[in-house]
């Protein structure tokens, strides 16, 4: 089943309205999409039913006027949703925006106080549509089809030209991005809570009788446009005299011939474009499947890396325990412990130093990966600040409440702001570093934490606190065609 066949039913209704002026066909389009349009409108006008009805009327009037062009639109629901947003923004003036900001501020204060689904929806409704329109069109259409119109994943995939599994992943990624946009506005719900809110009141039934009124008004506007064109055609062809009639007929015949030839040429071009579109859709599906596989492999690699770090921590713990046991054994034998071995009395301080080191490594690695993820989605360019890439920072990677000196962004600085693809060896190229080196525990010298361009982190040490040699060696070296070296620390 192709994308064209899935859209044919709604496209056929619009075609019948355009070519046959079928009021029943247009009313069916209104009936199918009114709930979506009315619900989106009423959210954006603060629950004012009269304003929502006016906006819905304006949207479907625009649909009637633009019907000829929209018969070829790939996703009519996306056009209706975006047009509703535009009409609502035009309708709502400064006073409504002020009330909405007050409502959002109140919602931010109440975010963590209630888990009632209705209360969650009351906080979500004022900012939902604005957050939806910050998504890419493909993500927005995926959420509209799945959670607003309750389409199964198979139908979502057909509408968007994807396989069912690819459609599922597209919806999941779009939902996660929507959750992050909502979090910036103080709505810190989980993805599951957002799904429950969307599946419930996001598309509610419009008032009874509104569909008939809107259809009549929109059809009247469309008929007025068609009648105006017909009247102009009639006036231009009215025979004022026989010579004018003959000349007009000749010109009309010539025009029809030219138009017929143009139409035939357009049909040939349309067939060619359909073939190209089918080939591109197949290639896109393969690319999306490959991307999904790469995402799964990346997730598995991250899990393996986390497990490796955990095992390294356990090994270090075992080594310290062995040293403690040796020190205790020497004390029992009357032997003074060596200066470079920790005694049982130092165990608590040693453990605190170890936890700080692990925390810095984890924090630097999470931020290095966040910088890389930002670059991947922004043309390969690294961000200029941590705030730019904050949404890519792994949740929980900076959660070290048990430490008295937990790491933060103020402790680190970004040292590379160029193109990711230009780095010749990401494994040896540093992209961020700890601002100030820290003194080593129980041994002379200083250490410093670095994040690398391959998403890893490391801690290196020197006796005198001078890291110039190490940093020159790990300065990002760009590929020969760029002719440059990395931007370096500020």
Domain edges within the chain: 3-210, 353-490
Please state, in angstroms and rounded to a whole number, the distance separating the CA atoms of residues 193 and 109. Answer: 18
- Cβ proximity of 197 and 189 under 8 Å: yes
Interior angle at CA 385, CA 128 and CA 418, nearest 5? 115
Render pLDDT for 198-225 as a digit per residue (tens, 0 to 9): 766 667 777 777 787 788 777 776 666 5
Per-residue pLDDT at 240: 39
The pLDDT > 90 percentage for the chain reads 26
DSSP 444: S
Q: What is the mean pLDDT of the chain?
A: 79
Whether the per-residue pLDDT at 470 is higher than 90: the answer is yes
**Helices marked H in 45-186 — which ranges?**
49-65, 67-70, 76-91, 94-109, 117-132, 137-143, 153-160, 164-184
Residue 41 host element (H or E): helix 23-44
Render pLDDT for 411-468 as a digit per residue (tens, 0 to 9): 999 999 999 999 999 999 999 999 999 888 777 889 999 999 999 999 999 988 899 9
Quickly state the pLDDT bin for 479 (edges 50, 70, 90): confident
Per-residue pLDDT at 8: 65
Q: Which residues contact 458 (CB under 8 A, 6 or more apart)?
A: 361, 449, 450, 452
Whether the per-residue pLDDT at 254 is higher than 80: the answer is no
The two structure tokens encoding residue 292: 């999904």
How far CA 138 is from CA of 135, 141, 143, 366, in Å, comes to: 8, 5, 9, 28
318 phi and psi angles, rounded to 5 deg: -60, -40
Please state, in angstroms and rounded to a whole number, the distance separating the CA atoms of residues 26 and 56. Answer: 14
- Cβ proximity of 482 and 422 under 8 Å: yes
Higher pLDDT, 339 or 325: 325
Quickly state the pLDDT bin for 242 (edges 50, 70, 90): very low
Whether the per-residue pLDDT at 341 is higher than 80: the answer is no
pTM greater than 0.85 (yes/no): no
Q: What is the DSSP string of 149-199?
A: S---HHHHHHHHT--HHHHHHHHHHHHHHHHHHHHHTT----HHHHHHHHH
Quickly state the pLDDT bin for 249 (edges 50, 70, 90): low
Whether the per-residue pLDDT at 382 is higher than 90: the answer is yes
State mean pLDDT over 158-172.
90
Give the position of tokens 């790939």: 74
Quickly state the pLDDT bin for 368 (edges 50, 70, 90): very high
Per-residue pLDDT at 486: 56
């Amino acid at each position: 089943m192709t994308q064209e066949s899935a859209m044919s039913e709604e496209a056929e209704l619009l075609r019948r309205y355009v070519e046959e002026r079928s009021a029943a066909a247009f009313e069916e389009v209104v009936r199918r999409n009114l709930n979506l349009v009315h619900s989106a409108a009423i959210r954006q006008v603060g629950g004012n039913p009269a304003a929502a009805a006016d906006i819905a009327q304006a949207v479907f009037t625009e649909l009637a006027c633009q019907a000829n062009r929209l018969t070829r639109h790939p996703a009519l629901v996306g056009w209706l949703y975006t047009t509703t947003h535009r009409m609502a923004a035009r309708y709502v003036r400064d006073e409504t925006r002020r009330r909405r900001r007050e409502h959002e501020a109140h919602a931010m204060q109440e975010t963590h106080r209630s888990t009632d689904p209705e209360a969650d929806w009351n906080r979500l409704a004022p900012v939902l549509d604005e957050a939806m329109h910050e998504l890419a069109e493909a993500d927005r259409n995926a959420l509209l089809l799945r959670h607003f119109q309750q389409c199964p994943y198979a139908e979502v995939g057909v509408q968007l030209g994807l396989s069912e599994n690819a459609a599922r992943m597209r919806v999941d990624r779009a939902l996660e991005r929507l959750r992050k946009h909502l979090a910036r506005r103080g709505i810190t719900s989980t993805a599951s809570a957002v799904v429950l809110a969307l599946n419930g009141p996001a598309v509610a039934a419009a008032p009874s009788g509104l569909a008939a009124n809107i259809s009549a008004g929109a059809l009247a506007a469309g008929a007025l446009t068609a009648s105006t064109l017909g009247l102009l055609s009639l006036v231009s062809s009215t025979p004022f005299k026989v010579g004018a009639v003959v000349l007009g007929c000749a010109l009309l015949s010539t025009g029809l011939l030219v138009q017929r030839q143009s139409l035939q040429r357009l049909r040939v071009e349309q067939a060619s474009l359909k073939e190209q579109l089918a080939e591109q859709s197949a290639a896109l599906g393969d690319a999306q499947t490959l991307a999904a596989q790469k995402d799964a492999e990346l997730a598995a690699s991250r899990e393996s890396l986390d497990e490796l770090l955990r095992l390294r921590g356990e090994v270090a713990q075992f080594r310290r325990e062995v040293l403690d046991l040796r020190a205790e054994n020497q004390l029992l034998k009357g032997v003074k412990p060596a200066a470079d071995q920790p005694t049982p009395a130092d165990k608590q301080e040693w453990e605190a130093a170890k936890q700080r080191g692990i925390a810095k490594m984890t924090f630097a690695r999470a931020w290095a990966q966040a910088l890389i993820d930002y670059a991947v989605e922004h043309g390969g360019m690294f961000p200029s600040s941590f705030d730019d890439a904050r949404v890519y920072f792994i949740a929980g990677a900076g959660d070290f409440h048990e430490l008295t000196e937990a790491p933060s962004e103020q402790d680190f600085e970004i040292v590379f702001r160029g193109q990711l693809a230009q780095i010749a060896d990401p494994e040896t190229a540093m992209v961020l570093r700890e601002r100030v080196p820290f003194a080593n525990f129980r041994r002379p010298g200083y250490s410093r934490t670095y994040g690398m361009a391959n998403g890893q982190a490391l801690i290196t040490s020197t006796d005198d606190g001078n890291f110039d040699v190490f940093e020159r060696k790990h300065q990002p070296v760009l590929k020969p065609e760029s002719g440059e070296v990395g931007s370096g620390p500020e």
